[in-house]
């Protein structure tokens, strides 16, 4: 259960829409770090380092607003195609971030959850992910979900394999498989589906991210590269979400 906001949290700049209209689960595709760095004649890793500061802002602000869950697309299963030097730097940055932020996450009631495949992540990254999951397992204010070595098609394949094994071994009958059962085998089992998906750097595609879970999410795209995505931009995205009419395939009742 979320705590009442402290005086410091009450004084932060908030979206203009009323809190009851805010999303409960926000997912983000954090794009544009490399582009942002190139525009400043800096190496790509400089953009990722600056992007880590934006991650901190997003986590702290969502927690202060009472958002229940924040899911960040940190490293996709396709990102292994990048130059090895960049991959190594990203893995090191991930490890350092987990170590440096662990105590703060515990203090602020933020529970970490990792989604994605373990192989071929470096053991050092897996170790720090597991340590942070364990250290924050009792936290209840907000869930922070990191999608690392994540691909939505892989996730759905893994869920299908799990169900196929249960069918083959007689634990599940084929006719018992429905959306709820399949969803229970996804990496995100137990999490509410995202209400809002934010993508930075102007790209208008899903990039193999949470394809099952965002079936009814509202999409917000900003031209800002991730290092430039600030508190105002996050509030604007929440206000944009609050302005939408969510019908889930139905129609809006006529007024009057």
What tens-digit pLDDT sequence spans the chain (256 residues)? 344 444 445 568 999 999 999 999 999 999 999 999 999 999 999 999 999 999 999 999 999 999 999 999 999 999 999 999 999 999 999 999 999 999 999 999 999 999 999 999 999 999 999 999 999 999 999 999 999 999 999 999 999 999 999 999 999 999 999 999 999 999 999 999 999 999 999 999 999 999 999 999 999 999 999 999 999 999 999 999 999 987 766 666 554 4
The verdict on residue 226 lying in a domain is yes
The verdict on residue 25 lying in a domain is yes
Residues belonging to the active site: 31, 79
Domain CATH for 112: 3.40.1180.10
Range of the domain at 53: 20-152+193-242
Count of domains for the chain: 1
The verdict on residue 114 lying in a domain is yes
Residue 3: what pLDDT?
44
Cα 57 from chain centre: 14
The verdict on residue 157 lying in a domain is no
The verdict on residue 171 lying in a domain is no
The verdict on residue 13 lying in a domain is no
The verdict on residue 236 lying in a domain is yes
The verdict on residue 30 lying in a domain is yes
Residue 4: what pLDDT?
46
């Amino acid at each position: 259960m979320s705590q009442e906001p402290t005086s410091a949290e009450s004084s932060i700049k908030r979206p203009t829409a009323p809190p009851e209209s805010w999303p409960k689960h926000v997912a983000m595709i954090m794009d544009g770090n490399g582009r942002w760095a190139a525009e400043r004649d800096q190496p790509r890793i400089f953009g990722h380092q600056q992007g880590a500061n934006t991650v901190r802002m997003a986590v702290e602000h969502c927690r202060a607003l009472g958002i229940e869950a924040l899911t960040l697309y940190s490293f996709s299963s396709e990102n292994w195609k990048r130059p090895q030097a960049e991959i190594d730097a990203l893995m090191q940055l991930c490890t350092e971030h987990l170590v440096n932020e662990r105590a703060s996450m515990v203090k602020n009631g933020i529970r970490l959850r990792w989604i994605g495949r373990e192989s071929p992540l470096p053991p050092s990254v897996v170790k720090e992910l597991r340590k942070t999951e364990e250290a924050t397992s009792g936290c209840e204010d907000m869930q922070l979900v990191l999608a690392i070595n994540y691909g939505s098609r892989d996730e759905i394949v893994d869920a299908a394999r799990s169900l196929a094994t249960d069918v083959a071994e007689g634990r599940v009958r084929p006719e018992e498989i429905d959306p709820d059962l399949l969803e229970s085998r996804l990496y995100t089992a137990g999490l509410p589906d995202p209400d809002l998906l934010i993508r930075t750097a102007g790209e208008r595609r899903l990039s193999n991210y949470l394809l099952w879970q965002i079936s009814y999410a509202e999409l917000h795209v900003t031209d800002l590269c991730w290092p430039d995505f600030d508190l105002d931009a996050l509030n604007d995205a929440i206000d944009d979400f609050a302005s939408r009419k969510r019908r889930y395939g139905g129609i809006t009742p006529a007024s009057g």
